[in-house]
Amino acid sequence: MTLPQLQKTIHSFIDHPDQLGLQLFFVIKSGQDFELLEPALDSKELEPALKKDFLEEIGQQFFAQGENDDLELQDLNTAEATDRRTIYHIVAGEIPMAASLLKGMQDETHIKKYDPKNHDFTSIWGIVAKIGHDGHHLYLFKRNYPVNVVKKGIAYPLFFAQGALQLEKKELLKISSKFEWLSHKKDLFILNKNEFESSFEYVYAVETKANAAIDLILDAKIISDGTKLYDLSKQRNAVKKIISISGSNPVLKKSPRQIVTFAKKYGFPLQLSEDKKTIELHNQKEARNLLKLFNDDLLLSELSDTKYDSRGKQKLNL
C-alpha cells in the first residue's frame, strides 16, 4: 500500500464524521491472552467528544501538516533509519499478538461489559477505539499505564462544584486522543514504533525469519558458527538487518576473504578462521560488522571520495 492509497482510505472516514459511530474497549492482558471489555459511554458528551478528538488526531498524523512536513510510509521490517516523519506498515498476521487482539476485536462474540467491581483502571493494559459504520472500521490502539489513573493518595483529586472544592473519591482514568497504531482490515499503521515493537513482542514474531536468514549465511559457508548472529537476532535494532537478508544478497556470492578485505578498507575488521575458509565471529561487535556489509551500510561517495557508515538510506528510482 502506498501513502496516497492509505490517505484515500482515511479520507473515507474522517470526511463523514456524522456517519461514524464510536466504541471504546479496555484490553486486559494475561501472558499472551487478551480479555476485551466494553465500558458504557456517555452518549451526550463523552462519545461525541472522543470521536471528534480521535478523528482530528488521525488527520494530523496521517497527512502532511504544511509543506515542510515530509511524511512517508515505510515497512516496519526495514532496517533503515530516517529523519522523516514516518508511518510504519505491517500486515497484522506477521505479529501474532496484534493479530490475536484484532481477531477478538473484529469477532466481538467474547467481548464482555466492563464492570469496575472486577477490574480497576490500573489493570487495563490497553485501550482500543473502534470508529466506523456498516462493517467498515478503523481501530486505534493506545497503551494504558498506571500514570493515567488518578487515585486518592498523597495527592487528592479535587474538582470545583457548588461553589467549593470537592474531593473525588473514585479513581479517574485519563484518556487522550493520542494513539500508537491504527488498523484497517488486516493492515497495521504504526506511529510509535518503539512502543509497538516492545508491547507486541516484535523480536519474537520475526524469530523464524531471522533464523532462516542466518541459515542462508551458514549455507553459503561465509561463517562456520552462527551463534553470535543468533544472539544478535534477539535485539530489535539488529534483527531488522538480519531479516532483510535474502538469497539474492550480493554478499552471499563473495568469498570470506573478499568480505574480510572489504570490511577492513572501512575500518570494520573481521577475522578469517585458522584454515582461511570461513569468517570467525568472536563477539557481537564483529557480528554487527558483518551485518553492515549485508545491509550495504559501507559506502563510498563519488563526489567527495569519502567512506561512510550509512545507517539510513533511501533508494533512488533512477
- Tens of each residue's pLDDT in the chain, 318 residues: 899 999 999 999 999 999 999 999 999 998 888 999 999 999 999 999 999 999 999 999 999 888 778 899 999 998 877 778 999 999 999 999 999 999 998 888 889 999 988 988 999 999 999 999 988 999 999 999 988 888 766 677 777 888 888 887 788 899 999 999 999 999 999 999 999 999 999 999 999 999 999 999 999 999 989 999 999 999 988 999 999 999 999 999 999 999 999 999 999 989 999 999 999 999 999 999 999 999 998 888 888 988 888 877 777 666
Q: Which distant-in-sequence residues (6+ apart) come within 8 Å of 172 by Cβ?
A: 121, 149, 150, 151, 157
Residues 114 and 146 in one domain: yes
Q: Is residue 41 part of a domain?
A: yes
Residues 43 and 55 in one domain: yes
Q: Would you state the cell numbers that stand for residue 161, as one nine-digit string? A: 462544584
Q: Is residue 304 part of a domain?
A: no
Nearest-angstrom CA–CA distance, 289 and 310: 13
Residue 285 is part of which domain span? 206-299
Residues 19 and 155 in one domain: yes
Residues 273 and 153 in one domain: no
Q: Which distant-in-sequence residues (6+ apart) come within 8 Å of 195 by Cβ?
A: 143, 180
Residues 240 and 101 in one domain: no
Residues 79 and 139 in one domain: yes
Task: Give residue 152's pLDDT.
Answer: 67
Task: Give residue 305's pLDDT.
Answer: 86
Residues 101 and 223 in one domain: no
Q: Is residue 284 part of a domain?
A: yes
Q: Is residue 317 part of a domain?
A: no
Residues 242 and 93 in one domain: no
List, in sequence order, every beta strand (DSSP E) within the chain. 21-30, 33-38, 71-75, 85-91, 112-113, 126-133, 136-143, 149-150, 158-161, 164-167, 172-173, 181-184, 187-190, 271-272, 279-280, 298-300, 307-309
Report the domain count for the chain.
2
Residues 129 and 219 in one domain: no
Q: Is residue 47 part of a domain?
A: yes
The pTM score is 0.88
Task: Give residue 250's pLDDT.
Answer: 95
What phi-psi label fits residue 308: left (phi over 0), alpha (psi between -120 and 50 degrees) or beta? beta
| Four-residue CA torsion sign, 46, 47, 51, 57 | positive
Residues 237 and 277 in one domain: yes
Q: What are phi and psi of 274, to 5 degrees?
A: -60, -35
Residues 46 and 83 in one domain: yes
Cα 223 to chain center, whole Å? 31
